[in-house]
């Protein structure tokens, strides 16, 4: 499981010209699920995301988590994070999980992050053509890979 975490001052996702979800200050997370992922991967990604200290404290040091600053989370599924670009110029998505595996894991990740955050999170729509907008605060962008925890 791969997560691209961006600290944002605001973010939104639109589907077919309509706003699906929007947040203020918090984290916008793009989540890529692969065939080999399971419950352990989503629990690790969720915990690391919610506990990651990338918000400034009173000294201006990134020492606070999303929990500490009562921020919001927007979670969007993105299979292209598992693109293989080793051969040719057209990416292959062979490692990306098919919907029968990815949808239940995505839904479980939503529940897990909401539970750890202590409030509902906002989401995109699995498989939809989405337009995502954000103002990256910092900018701060972090890449997590549950297969590379060390």
Residue 106 included in any domain: yes
Strand partners, 27: 7, 73
Q: Active-site residue 78, yes or no?
A: yes
Within-domain flag for 122? yes
Q: What is the mean pLDDT of residues 16-25?
A: 98
Which of 78, 115, 116, 123 is an active site residue? Answer: 78
Question: How far does CA 109 lie from the centroid of its chain?
Answer: 9
Instruction: Assess whether pLDDT exceeds 80 at residue 150.
Output: no
Contact 13, 130 (CB under 8 A): yes
Say if 150 falls within a structural domain: no
Q: Is there a domain that residue 57 lies in?
A: yes
Residue 36 CB contacts under 8 Å (≥ 6 apart), including other chains: 147
Q: Mean pLDDT across the stretch 120-124?
A: 98
CA-closest candidate to residue 140, choices 64, 67, 34: 64
- Give me the CATH number covering residue 135: 3.50.80.10
Point out the catalytic residue in the list 39, 80, 115, 141: 80
- What is the pTM (predicted TM-score) of this model? 0.94
Whether pLDDT at 1 is above 90? yes
Mark whether 79 is an active-site residue: yes
Pairing assessment for the beta strands 72-77 and 122-123 based on DSSP bridges? parallel
In a domain, 109, yes or no: yes
Which residues does 125 contact at the CB level (< 8 Å), separation at least 6? Answer: 15, 20
Q: Which among 6, 55, 79, 123 is annotated as catalytic?
A: 79
Please state the domain count of the chain. Answer: 1
Domain, as residue range, for 90: 2-145
| 39 counts as catalytic | no
Residue 21 included in any domain: yes
The band of 149, judged by pLDDT with boundaries at 50, 70 and 90, is: confident
The residue among 112, 95, 127 whose CA lies nearest residue 20 is: 127
- Domain-embedded: residue 56: yes
pLDDT for 36-79, tens place per residue?
999 999 999 999 999 999 999 999 999 999 999 999 999 999 99
**Mean pLDDT taken over the chain:** 96
What percent of the chain clears pLDDT 70, i.e. is strictly above it? Answer: 100
Q: Is residue 110 included in any domain, yes or no?
A: yes
Closest to 122 (Cα-Cα) out of 16, 10, 34: 10
Nearest CA to 11 out of 73, 81, 68, 65 is that of 73
The answer to whether residues 72 and 122 touch, using CB atoms and an 8 Å cutoff, is yes
Q: What is the mean pLDDT of residues 115-140?
A: 97
């Amino acid at each position: 499981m791969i997560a691209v975490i961006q600290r944002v001052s605001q973010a939104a996702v639109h589907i077919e010209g309509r706003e699906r979800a929007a947040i203020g200050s918090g984290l916008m997370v793009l989540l890529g699920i692969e065939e080999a992922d399971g419950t352990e991967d989503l629990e690790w990604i969720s915990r690391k995301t919610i506990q990651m200290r990338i918000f400034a404290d009173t000294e201006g040091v990134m020492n606070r988590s999303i929990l500490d600053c009562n921020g919001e989370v927007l979670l969007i599924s993105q299979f292209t994070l598992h693109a293989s670009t080793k051969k040719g110029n057209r990416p292959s998505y062979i490692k990306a999980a098919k919907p029968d595996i990815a949808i239940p894991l995505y839904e479980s990740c939503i529940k897990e992050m909401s539970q750890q955050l202590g409030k509902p999170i906002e989401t995109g729509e699995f498989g939809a053509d989405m337009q995502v907008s954000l103002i990256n605060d910092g900018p701060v962008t972090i890449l997590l890979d549950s297969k590379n925890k060390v």
